[in-house]
């Protein structure tokens, strides 16, 4: 039994594997990666709709884009101002599939854009013109 040699090999293997381990320290996502974009500046909910001018304040019509997906409200009132917030790190668009009912670009990292919902009730499928696999439907009542 050449235990000593076996132990030596084991030690060598251990050394090698330790040395070859990818040197990625834990926590690669440093807390500083978030952009300096402040989150609190774009909150349409708290504004009493003074800029709208006409009509009663409707329920918040907000589309949120997150992780390459649209999060749409169950419905929006006809003619409502729809606010789009993009939480992704790339730009997206909200583009009606047919016609030109709406088409807005939404900047990355918390960018917002608004458009006016169609004045006619119905379902309006839309997509992102940059990422055609991103699909959504805006229901107008
Ligand atoms: Cu997109």
Query: How much is the pLDDT for 60?
Result: 78
Tokens of 89: 């790190």
Across 66-85, average pLDDT: 97
The alpha carbons of the chain give a radius of gyration, in whole angstroms, of 26
Query: How much is the pLDDT for 43?
Result: 42
Q: How far is the CA of 24 from the centre of ligand 1 (A)?
A: 31
Domains of the chain, CATH where assigned? 58-140 (2.60.40.420)
Q: Calculate the average pLDDT of the chain.
A: 75
Q: How far is the CA of 103 from the centre of ligand 1 (A)?
A: 12
DSSP class per residue in 83-123: EEEE-SSS-EEEEESSTTS-EEEE-TTTEEEEEEPPSS-EE
Q: What percent of the chain has pLDDT over 70?
A: 58
Q: How far apart are alpha carbons 122 and 137 in whole angstroms?
A: 10
Q: How far is the CA of 76 from the centre of ligand 1 (A)?
A: 22
User: Alpha carbon 83 to chain centroid distance?
Assistant: 14
Q: What percent of the chain has pLDDT over 90?
A: 56
Beta-bridge partner residues of 103:
95
Query: How much is the pLDDT for 27?
Result: 45
Across 84-102, average pLDDT: 97
Q: Are 108 and 91 in contact, with CB atoms under 8 Å apart?
A: yes
Q: How far is the CA of 62 from the centre of ligand 1 (A)?
A: 17
Q: How far is the CA of 88 from the centre of ligand 1 (A)?
A: 9
């Amino acid at each position: 039994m050449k235990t000593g040699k076996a132990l030596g090999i084991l030690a060598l293997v251990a050394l090698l594997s330790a040395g070859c381990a990818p040197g990625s320290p834990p926590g690669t996502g440093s807390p500083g990666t978030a952009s300096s974009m402040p989150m609190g500046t774009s909150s349409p909910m708290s504004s009493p709709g003074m800029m709208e001018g006409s009509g009663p304040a409707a329920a918040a019509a907000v589309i949120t884009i997150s992780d390459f997906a649209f999060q749409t409200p169950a419905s929006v009132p006809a003619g409502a101002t729809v606010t789009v917030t993009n939480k992704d790190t790339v730009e997206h668009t909200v583009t009606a599939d047919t016609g030109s009912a709406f088409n807005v670009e939404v900047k990355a990292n918390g960018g917002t854009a608004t458009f006016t919902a169609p004045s006619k009730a119905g379902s309006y499928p839309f997509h992102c013109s940059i990422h055609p696999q991103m699909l959504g439907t805006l229901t107008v009542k």
